[in-house]
Amino acid sequence: MKNEGENSGFRVSENAEGITFSVHVQPRASRNEIAGLSGSELKVRLTSPPVEGAANTLCREFLARLLHVAKSDVRIIAGEKSRHKVVTIHGASRESALALLNKQSRSSE
């Protein structure tokens, strides 16, 4: 796996199958959205509470929709019970993950 792609500290690892990056989840938000960066992690606000895996499920669904992949292609590989997660997304590219940040920064201007 090669570690590539830094955009203001956001690190995305890419391999032949997809990408891996860190996410900081803020549950019980007023809406689902990308909220920029929290250190080197993509900050994601989600409406669901952090109980019984609801926030994890919504996190996978939200990222799948944004990156135009199937929900089954998004896996949380670390941090199931934490706000700090590592996700792997099969079929997505480094450029598509970096585009999430660019889209967010343009919409906040």
Domain coverage including residue 45: 2-107
Instruction: State the greatest distance between any 2 C-alpha atoms of the chain, in Å, as a whole number.
Output: 36
CATH code: domain of residue 52: 3.30.1200.10
Total number of domains in the chain: 1
Q: Name which of 27, 24, 23, 44 is nearest 35 in CA terms.
A: 44
Q: Is 8 left (phi over 0), alpha (psi -120 to 50) or beta?
A: left
Tell me the per-residue pLDDT of 7-40, one tens digit each, with 9 for 90 and over.
468 889 998 889 999 999 999 999 999 998 888 9
Tell me the per-residue pLDDT of 29-69, one tens digit each, with 9 for 90 and over.
999 999 988 889 999 999 999 999 999 999 999 999 999 99
Q: pTM of the entire structure? A: 0.84
